[in-house]
């Protein structure tokens, strides 16, 4: 049976603003959704994927979609994904880029008209035959949820002024949200061409810096304040969006505790790290048999050790 890695991350407290540079009139907005009856701000899974790819690039991993800071744009190192799509390509794990392997890709070719000699009429040109387009795609092995704020958005806006030409002044506002974000992920290493790249996913998750923002970036630390890993035979995560803020403003995971107590989650599959270790639920999960660490990096090393034991033997 294949093993699956699931994870739940909660960020430190920070101030989010200018997410993706979207605006409504003179107000730069944050993405929002209705969550459990309240308006919460959110960061897209695509933004988190971008940050993961950029982390790999900055740590020396070969990526296909490479960010060029000076050009403020991407460049492709292999626009045709030849190791995946060309029958003559080798197509083995080490011949592929890590972002193509883990995050997937899609190569779409438009349809075109070609001459058909068999249908040509005497004295006339060749008839055109429509050839359908093609699509070569690889589904990403790493699945990510949207990041959702732990606290509702109360509508905070800062107002600013910018001087223009001939003494004119432009007034604009920016939505801001002081909050934490939580998001989850899922990965089945056997879907990867190079299975040990699953360890690089763990490294990226615990080391993310800023996520989202556009030309006017905001710094919001997306490295975990607390993280819960689950290395399991179970197909279902059973822990997504499990963090809550308790009445004292601390972190709690009541739904995860309920599932552990009910037998839906084996606590021996859980590896926790970060601020949750010293909290009531962290101590409770440790008593149940979960591996609990004070640091997120220590938790990452523990789950990587468990993964390596299985992946190298398979």
Domain boundaries, the chain: 4-109+129-313
Quote the pLDDT of residue 110.
60
Looking at residues 262-276, what average pLDDT do you find?
A: 98
Report the first-to-last Cα separation within the chain, whole angstroms: 11
Quote the pLDDT of residue 115.
54
Lowest mean pLDDT of 7-16, 166-175, 245-254, name the range.
166-175
Question: Comparing 18 with 178, which gets the higher pLDDT?
Answer: 178
Instruction: Please give the Cα distance from 216 to 21 (Å, whole number).
Output: 7
Quote the pLDDT of residue 20.
46
| pLDDT band, very low/low/confident/very high, at 160 (cuts 50, 70, 90) | confident
The mean predicted confidence, pLDDT, of the chain is 86
Looking at residues 166-179, what average pLDDT do you find?
A: 81
| pLDDT band, very low/low/confident/very high, at 19 (cuts 50, 70, 90) | very low
Kindly state the greatest CA–CA separation across the chain: 88
Quote the pLDDT of residue 135.
61
Helices 296-313 and 197-205: angle between axes, nearest 10 degrees = 170
Looking at residues 290-306, what average pLDDT do you find?
A: 98
| pLDDT band, very low/low/confident/very high, at 210 (cuts 50, 70, 90) | confident
Quote the pLDDT of residue 246.
83
**3-state SS, residue 103:** helix
Lowest mean pLDDT of 11-20, 89-98, 133-142, name the range.
89-98
| pLDDT band, very low/low/confident/very high, at 233 (cuts 50, 70, 90) | very high
| pLDDT band, very low/low/confident/very high, at 5 (cuts 50, 70, 90) | very high
Are 176 and 221 in contact by the 8 Å Cβ rule? The answer is no
Quote the pLDDT of residue 171.
75
Instruction: From 296, 295, 294, 101, select the one nearest 200 (Cα to Cα).
Output: 101
Name residues whose C-beta falls within 8 Å of residue 276's C-beta, 6 or more positions apart in sequence: 226, 228, 251, 253, 282, 292
Q: Is the model's pLDDT at 23 over the cut of 70?
A: no
Instruction: Please give the Cα distance from 183 to 245 (Å, whole number).
Output: 15
């Amino acid at each position: 049976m294949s093993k699956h890695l699931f994870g739940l991350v909660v960020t430190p407290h920070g101030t989010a603003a200018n997410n993706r540079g979207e605006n409504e009139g003179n107000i730069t907005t944050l993405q929002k959704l209705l969550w459990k009856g309240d308006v919460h701000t959110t960061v897209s899974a695509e933004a988190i994927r971008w940050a993961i790819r950029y982390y790999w690039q900055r740590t020396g991993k070969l990526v296909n979609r490479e960010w060029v800071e000076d050009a403020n744009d991407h460049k492709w190192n292999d626009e045709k994904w030849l190791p995946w799509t060309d029958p003559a390509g080798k197509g083995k794990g080490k011949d592929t880029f890590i972002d193509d392997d883990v995050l997937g890709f899609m190569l779409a070719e438009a349809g075109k008209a070609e001459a058909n000699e068999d249908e040509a009429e005497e004295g006339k040109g060749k008839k055109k035959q429509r050839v359908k387009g093609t699509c070569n795609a690889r589904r990403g092995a790493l699945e990510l949820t949207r990041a959702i704020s732990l606290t509702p958005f109360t509508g905070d806006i800062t107002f600013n002024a910018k001087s223009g030409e001939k003494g004119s002044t432009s007034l604009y506002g920016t939505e801001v949200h002081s909050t934490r974000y939580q998001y989850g992920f899922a990965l089945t290493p056997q879907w990867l061409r190079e299975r040990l790249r699953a360890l690089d996913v763990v490294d990226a998750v615990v080391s993310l810096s800023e996520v989202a923002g556009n030309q006017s970036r905001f710094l919001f630390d997306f490295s975990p304040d607390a993280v819960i890993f689950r290395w399991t035979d179970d197909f279902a995560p059973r822990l997504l969006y499990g963090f809550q803020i308790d009445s004292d403003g601390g972190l709690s995971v009541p739904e995860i505790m309920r599932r552990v107590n009910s037998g839906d989650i084996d606590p021996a599959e859980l590896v926790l790290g970060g601020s949750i270790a010293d909290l009531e639920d962290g101590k409770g999960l440790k008593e149940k048999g979960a591996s609990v660490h004070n640091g997120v990096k220590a938790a990452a090393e523990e789950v990587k050790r468990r993964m390596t034991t299985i992946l190298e033997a398979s």
